[in-house]
Amino acid sequence: MFTLLVPAIALISHCSLVHGWKATLWELPNYKGEKYHFEGNDCYQYLGDDFNDKASSIDTHGTCVRLYADAFCEADNIDVFPGSLFHKNLKDLGFQQSVSSLGPCLAPWKITLWEYPDYKGAKFTYNGTDCLDSLGDGKASSLNTHGTCVRLYKNAPRCEGDEHIDVFPGSFHHRDLSYLGFHDSVSSLGPCPPMPRKPVLSSLYYTLGDFLSTTNSNGVSPDKDSTEKLLGNVIILGNLGK
């Protein structure tokens, strides 16, 4: 149970990794009234005087879109994506007639990779918001994600292929990637996809995240007994939310 539940909470995502977003916004709930279409790869800084603070429903066209209450992708925000709730009525998300800008959900990432286990040997630091297409020879054996979430791709340039894993504060084996099956085989890397957000499980995920974020900067994880105790509470609360 211990080995299977962590991925179920910390790694499952309803969205695939995408390099662009797309959204149609309607003035009224239930996809009615005047509508505007937006798409891009970065922040769409302002919806325009004609549509600012007027959106009431949304279609994300299979992508993940972050809505912001202020221009320039600042202030209060929320992610909407396939499977998230209340696309028909943003009022239920607290965002009816308050959207001023929007952009991608993908968060900036940063990672330092070491040539050998236990943070030894040559090291390289990378950061960005999109895919880093190639790492060259892929010689990475330990890592530090600097508080961010990074997806590693095994023997696959351009962030492609089915063999990948997400590493983040509190995930395991940062000291030695061989335990993850990724020793000297990281070919490309990029941001983690957005997490699923549902009313009960959302709070559980962030409770778990707060606990796991107590790890030190070298990525050493909490002890197993403490983690299992927390996960037992997660199971109980999760069942209550069904």
> Token pair for residue 146?
């600097």
Residue 183 token pair: 């020793």
Looking at the whole model, is its pTM more than 0.75? no
Mean pLDDT (the chain) is 75
For residue range 117-148, list pLDDT tens digits in order.
Answer: 999 999 999 988 778 888 877 789 999 998 88
| 162, pLDDT greater than 70 | yes
Is the predicted pLDDT of residue 30 greater than 60, yes or no? yes
DSSP string, the chain: -HHHHHHHHHT--SS---S-EEEEEEEETTTEEEEEEEEESS-B----TTTTT---EEE-TTS-EEEEEEGGGEEEEEEE-TT-S-TT-GGGGT-TT---EEEE-PPPEEEEEEEETTTEEEEEEEEESS-B---TT----EEE-TTS-EEEEES-GGG-SS-EEEE-TT-S-SS-GGGGT-TT-EEEEEEPPPPP--HHHHHHHHHHHHHHTTS-TT-PPPPHHHHHHHHHHHHHHHHHT-
Domains delineated in the chain: 1-16+106-242 (2.60.20.10), 21-104 (2.60.20.10)
Q: What is the pLDDT of residue 25?
A: 96
Name, of 7-21, 45-59, 94-108, the range with top average pLDDT: 45-59
Distance from C-alpha of 188 to C-alpha of 128, rounded to nearest angstrom: 12
**Per-residue pLDDT averaged across 221-238, rounded?**
45
- Taking residues 57-73, report their average pLDDT: 89
CA torsion angle for 201, 202, 204, 205 (degrees, to 10)?
110
> CA nearest 93: which of 57, 44, 43?
57
pLDDT tens, position by position, 77-114: 888 888 888 999 999 888 878 899 998 876 778 899 99
Provide the pLDDT confidence category of residue 195 given band limits of 50, 70 and 90: low
Average pLDDT over residues 183-204: 64
